[in-house]
Amino acid sequence: MRISQLFILSPRGDKIIAKDYRVDVMRSTDEVFFRKYKFWDGPGGGTDAPPFFTVDGIHYAFMKKNNLLLVLTTRSNASPSLLAELLVRLTKLLKDYLGVLNEDNLRKNFVLVYELLDEIIDYGYLQSTNTEKLVPYIFNEPVKADQPKKAATTSSSIGVIGKLTGKATTKQAADAQKSVISRTGEKDGRKNEVFVDVLERLNAVFNANGTLVNQEINGAIIMKSFLVGTPSLRLGLNEDLVVGRDSGSYGGVILDSVNFHECINHSEFDSERTLCFNPPDGEFVVMNYRMTGTDHVMPFRISPVIETPTPYQVELILRVRADFPASVHASSVLVKFAVPRLTTSVKCELGAGATNQTYEYKQGDKCIVWLMKKFGGGSEQVCKAKLSFSQPVGPAIRREIGPISMNFEIPMFVVSGLGIRFLRIEERSKSYNPQRWVRNITQANSYICRMN
């Protein structure tokens, strides 16, 4: 595989970073790509550009991360999965060195970024994307970008593991968004600590009655280490954890499949559900896991009701209930549903006592977007949408309503029940006592309620 170019674009199409490795394609590929990305007219019938496409013999591969567009170009017949993996590893590498991957950080650290790009790819050939192996060859220090005052005061609940048993504390989420450069030094004010995220992304499909039809949980245990040296870690999971639904065993948490990072020694996993490893520098995935079936309670239940008060009107009453503990809450909950093409006007009414909620009717896309900044566990929210039409409502118009999709994030909650029992650092010295922080996060990947 030979990479011709690598460039990073802003949401406006501005070229922030550009690297031409082989000088075998035209310099205006970023303009060609952005035009195709914004106004896709190729095969597939969709309005969004696919992650891989070809224009005039040049192959493009891209991914969107934090509103940035990371793009690779090549003339060779490269494997799409290999290009996608390279883009994913590149985002993790930049995040390790910059702390936060955003436009401001890229512009302030462009010298460091170009130094990284020179090391990971040589004349179009991939060399290494390992954070730890690249540290000796990187000499520029990252420049910290100015953080907005609002972001600096927000915090995320993170449980601490160590001498505190059964006690939780909070820590600034920004602590985990630091660079791994000079991690053994004290001049940047960093502490000797390790962060662990248990992240689950949900795919769920409901029917018009609100019954769960299908579900899939894709989870990962993600670690970011700021530990001095390379100590040995022992990470313990649920004792009632079972891998494989056909194993004939029964447990509280049943995973369909798992896979581990190459540094993991899982010889004790089958007997004690314990993983042993020496964490590499930077962020890495300790374990990926997958769960299917319909035996888990999804965090939100969607209940739509359609009424026809007049021949020219339809009322969609949408109830959304949170089926997770009241001690946690979801943030940035977005509900979106399509309305018929013949809709002439839309009026929405939110439930009594609704706070921090807004709705918007996007006439060009023919959809309604309902946004709730905070959704408490055990509560229910209601939105009544009144749709007016220029002709009598028939079965064809009713079929165009929906589907309903949701997007959300729930801190300190996981659907599967997977948990971390302990995170021990095998270090004999009593003075070596780093802090260990664990956070649970649930996100919606594809959360849809069908109306027909």
The residue-averaged pLDDT of 367-372 equals 94
pLDDT band per the 50, 70, 90 thresholds, residue 353: confident
Taking only the tens place, the pLDDT of each residue in 207-250 is 988 888 999 999 999 998 888 777 889 999 998 888 887 655 56
Tell how far CA 331 is from the center of its chain: 14
Q: By percentage, how much of the chain surpasses pLDDT 90?
A: 58
> Per-residue pLDDT for 74 more than 90?
yes
The single residue listed with the structure tokens 């936060």 is 100
- Lookup: tokens for 406: 């949701």
Map residue 21 onto helix, strand or coil: coil
Beta bridge partners of 318: 304, 383
> Per-residue pLDDT for 424 more than 60?
yes
Residues 6+ apart with CB under 8 A from 62: 33, 37, 49, 51, 69, 70, 71, 72, 87
Distances from the Cα of 209 to the Cαs of 311, 367, 423, 449, in angstroms?
24, 21, 43, 9
> What are the structural domains of the chain?
5-137 (3.30.450.60), 152-296+413-448 (2.60.40.1170), 300-412 (2.60.40.1170)
Residues 6+ apart with CB under 8 A from 292: 215, 216, 217, 256
Map residue 202 onto helix, strand or coil: strand
Q: Select the more confidently predicted residue: 168 or 386.
A: 386
Confidence (pLDDT) at 193? 84
> Per-residue pLDDT for 260 more than 70?
yes
> Per-residue pLDDT for 183 more than 70?
no
Taking only the tens place, the pLDDT of each residue in 287-314 is 999 998 767 889 999 999 999 999 999 9
Contact 21, 6 (CB under 8 A): yes
Contact 434, 194 (CB under 8 A): yes
Confidence (pLDDT) at 339? 92
Determine the Cα angle at 310 with ends 308 and 316, to 5°.
30
Distance CA 369, CA 334 (A): 7
> Per-residue pLDDT for 389 more than 60?
yes
pLDDT band per the 50, 70, 90 thresholds, residue 159: low
Confidence (pLDDT) at 247? 56
Predicted structure pTM score? 0.77
Taking only the tens place, the pLDDT of each residue in 112-146 is 999 999 999 999 999 999 887 888 888 888 887 66
